Structure formats: C-alpha cells, structure tokens
C-alpha cells in the first residue's frame, strides 16, 4: 500500500497519548495527516473544513485543532535543533521556525482561554527521519500541510478577531513553506492557489475519512 | 520607461484618465469604480448590507473587496511583465519572476470571475509605470509589492462575508506570502519581517503605497 501514497512521510508520523483518550483535535489532526499522506497536502484543506464543520465545536474547537497542529510543528523543530544536523543558513532557519511555531502555540492556547475554553493537551509525536534531507522533506510536508489546514479552517471561523489572528499565522506558515522549499530546491510557490481542488474532487476524496 | 501595452478596456481607462489629476490618480480610480459599482451591485446577494466599509469605493461588500484585490493583482501582473521585458534578470531569477507573474495573472482571472459570479462589475486594469533601474532595486520593489499584497489580503480576510469568497482569498493570500518570503530571501532579508504573526495593512495604506506607480 505504501507505494500508492502521495506523501508517504506523513503516514509515518505518530500522534499518540499515554494513558488517556485522544482529544477531538488529535483525531482531526490524525485524519488530516492521513488525508495528506494519501492525496497530498492540498487535500488537507477540504478535509479539515469538513471535519471541523461536522465536529460543531465552534471557534474554540477550531483553535484547539490549530493548537494541536502547532504542537506538532513546535515539537518537530525543537527536536530538529539537535536531530536535523543542520548547519549555516539552515540552522538559522530551523531556529527561526522553532521560535515562530512555539509562539503560535502560546498565542493559540492564550486565545482558547480568552474565549473561555480549555487548551487541549499536547499529544506525543514521533517523527521518522535520520538526516538533514529527511528532516527537510518532512518539514516541507508539514509546512504545506499547515498552510492547507489553516486555509481549510478559515471559512469555518465565526469571530472576526480569531479569523484575523489565524490569517496572521497562516501567512507565516506559507512563508516558512516557501523558505523550506527553497532549501529543498523545490518550487517555493508551486501553484497560484494553495488549495486548487474542485468541490467534486474534494467530496470524493474526503468521503472515506468522515462517512 | 516600461508601460503596460495590453489595454483591454479603453473605455473604463478613459473614464479613469479623465478624472485623474496629477496627484489624484488613486482617488480618480476609486471614483471611477464607485460609479461602476452603483449600477451593478443590486444583483449581488453577498453584500454586507450597507455600512461604510474600507473598500466601499470598489463596490459593495465582497464585490468591493474582490475588486480591490483585483486592482492589486493587475498591478503585480503588470509589474512582473515589465520586469521580464526589462532584461535585468537571467537564469533562475528570471524563471522565478516569470512563474510569479503567471501566478498573479491567474489571480487576476480568478478574481475577475469571482466578481462576475457575485453579479458585480470587475474593476478596470489600472495603467501603471514602475521604476526599473537595476536588478537590486527591482527585487526590493518586488519584495515591497509582495509583502504589501500579502498584508492587503490579510487586512480584508475578516471583512469577507461569503465563506466561498473567503476560501478563495485565503488560497491566494498564502501564495502571496510564499512569494514575499522568496523575494525577502533573495535580498538576504528575514522571511518573516513581522515576526511569528504577519501584520495586516489597511486599504488606505496599501493604496498610498501603490499610488506612485499609477499613471494618469
């Protein structure tokens, strides 16, 4: 089956909790990663939009999902500081990204509290890579997935303030994605639109996950 | 100096030009759009239902926001076309500029279609001239334009009424962010000049910044 996956590195990412149940946000994140693994990161956007619509948990639920996604990215870059064997320009980039994602975690947790919600706990992540190239490949996928996830969640957000804040984060994720793609010698902005799928394609692809 | 050759809509351009004084190109442009929108927005069901919005001069509600974005995308498209023609870039940098230019042109097409879908009249293509002295100053201008473009979309996201229009605007917004990061990288500047949270720009700031490039 693995060779049929569009983004197999996403399928190898583990999201777990010890001695407890996965939160709704953890489940949506697992689904988003699976959707991305099978169909590519563009599919994450419609998946997240549908999943959040069905979970009916409002802005707090959306923010908690974003928080879970940022937990993943923050942990990934914090680990990468010692694991990715980065040097020079890439090392500075890893440090910048680690700092940005950590700030996103803190801002999202604070916003959940401000809205009277409870920030979800951080799940346990496991990332499989052994060298700089493996790190970069996963980083590119995570950043593209993050952009796609925020863009999918955006239209579900009720509060204008929350939407504006999420917009300020997704633009930074897009900037990260471009910078990591440049490191990989890949097109930094591969398409004119960050979620170019038609509604029909979306419905067909999302069906197996949420029906 | 480089100039846009493809004037597809001479009538609206003349209208635009007729009102324009030397320092009021933007105001004239806005006035022209305002006239147009008054006759076309009655068919739109997506409007915000009145109230003074920042983009009211471009049309009511989402049509106004889309036309504002369309105007900026026209400027970006024209800018990249001129840069390609200038001969200042070769190799990989030229390819990047061509690619970005094509993507901006796709944004123009998508926004034009979206305005029409909402029953509005697409804003006319503004006439613009850009200073193209040397590669470095052009890259600096490109970075300014892209960072501003990304900030402009961010400034409007929360004002958009229709979830479908918002989804499209977000899909463009993040691409502008990607472009901005690449140009910042080429200049040796930070990919995230605002830090971990990108800052929005309001309509007034954005239009003031592009005013020097509009010609009457």
A37/B95 Cα distance (integer angstroms): 30
Low-confidence ranges of chain B (pLDDT < 50): 1-51
Q: Which among B100, B182, B196 has the least Cβ separation from residue A172?
A: B196
Q: Identify the pLDDT of residue B80.
A: 97
B158 with A191: Cβ contact below 8 A: no
Q: Which among B175, B191, B195 has the least Cβ separation from residue A192?
A: B175
Q: Identify the pLDDT of residue A67.
A: 96
Q: Identify the pLDDT of residue A38.
A: 85
Residues B178-188: tens digit of each pLDDT = 999 999 999 99
Judged by a CB distance cut-off of 8 A, whether residue B182 touches chain A is: yes
Judged by a CB distance cut-off of 8 A, whether residue B119 touches chain A is: no
Chain B CB contacts of A46 under 8 Å are: none
Low-confidence ranges of chain A (pLDDT < 70): 1-3, 196-211
Residues A177-209: tens digit of each pLDDT = 999 999 999 999 999 999 755 556 555 655 554
* Cβ contacts of B56-64, under 8 Å, gap ≥ 24: B57/B30, B57/B31, B57/B33, B58/B30, B58/B33, B58/B34, B58/B123, B59/B33, B59/B115, B59/B120, B59/B121, B59/B123, B61/B161, B62/B118, B62/B160, B62/B161, B62/B162, B62/B165, B63/B37, B63/B115, B63/B118, B63/B119, B63/B120, B64/B37
Chain B CB contacts of A163 under 8 Å are: 157-158
Chain B CB contacts of A100 under 8 Å are: 192, 195-196
Q: Identify the pLDDT of residue A205.
A: 54
Kindly list the residues of chain A whose beta carbon comes within 8 Å of any beta carbon in chain B: 49, 96, 99-101, 103-104, 107, 147, 150-151, 154-156, 160-161, 163-165, 167-179, 182, 187-189, 191-196
Chain A CB contacts of B158 under 8 Å are: 160-161, 163-164, 167
> Would you put residue A199 in left (φ > 0), alpha (ψ -120 to 50) or beta?
alpha
Residues B36-66: tens digit of each pLDDT = 333 333 333 333 334 457 898 999 999 999 9
Which burial class, exposed, middle or buried, applies to A209 when counting CB atoms under 10 A from its CB (0-12, 13-18, 19+)?
middle
């Amino acid at each position: 089956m693995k060779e049929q996956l569009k983004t197999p590195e996403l399928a190898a990412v583990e999201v777990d909790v010890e001695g407890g149940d996965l939160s709704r946000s953890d489940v949506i994140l697992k689904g988003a990663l699976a959707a991305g693994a099978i169909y590519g990161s563009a599919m994450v956007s419609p998946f997240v939009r549908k999943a959040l619509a069905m979970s009916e948990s409002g802005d707090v639920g959306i923010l908690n999902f974003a928080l879970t996604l940022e937990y993943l990215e923050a942990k990934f870059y914090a680990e990468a500081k010692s694991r990715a064997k980065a040097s020079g320009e890439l090392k500075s980039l890893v440090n910048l990204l680690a700092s940005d994602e950590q700030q996103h975690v803190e801002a999202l947790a604070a916003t959940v509290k401000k809205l009277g919600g409870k920030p979800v706990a951080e799940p346990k992540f496991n990332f499989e890579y052994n060298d700089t190239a493996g790190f970069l490949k996963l980083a590119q996928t995570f950043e593209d997935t993050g952009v796609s996830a925020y863009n999918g969640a955006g239209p579900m957000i009720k509060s204008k303030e929350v939407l504006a804040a999420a917009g300020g984060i997704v633009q930074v994720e897009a900037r990260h994605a471009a910078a990591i793609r440049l490191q990989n010698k890949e097109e930094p902005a591969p398409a004119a639109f960050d979620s170019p799928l038609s509604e029909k394609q979306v419905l067909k692809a999302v069906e197996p996950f949420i029906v | 100096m480089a100039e846009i050759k493809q004037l597809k809509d001479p009538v609206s351009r003349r209208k635009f030009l007729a009102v324009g004084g030397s320092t009021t190109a933007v105001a004239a442009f806005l006035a022209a759009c305002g006239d147009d929108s008054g006759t076309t927005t009655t068919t739109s069901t997506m409007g915000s239902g009145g109230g003074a919005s920042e983009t009211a001069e471009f049309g009511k509600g989402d049509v106004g926001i889309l036309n504002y974005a369309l105007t900026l995308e026209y400027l970006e498209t024209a800018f990249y076309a001129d840069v390609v023609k200038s001969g200042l870039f070769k190799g990989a940098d030229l390819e990047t500029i061509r690619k970005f230019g094509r993507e901006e042109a796709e944004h123009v097409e998508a926004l034009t279609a979206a305005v029409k879908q909402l029953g509005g009249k697409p804003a006319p293509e503004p006439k613009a001239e850009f200073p193209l002295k040397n590669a470095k100053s052009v890259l600096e201008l490109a970075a300014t334009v892209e960072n501003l473009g990304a900030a402009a979309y961010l400034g409007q996201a929360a004002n958009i009424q229709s979830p479908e229009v918002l989804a499209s605007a977000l899909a463009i917004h993040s691409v502008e962010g990607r472009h901005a990061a690449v140009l910042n990288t080429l200049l040796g500047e930070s990919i995230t000049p605002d830090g971990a949270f990108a800052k929005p720009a309001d309509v007034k700031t954005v239009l003031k910044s592009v005013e020097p490039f509009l010609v009457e």
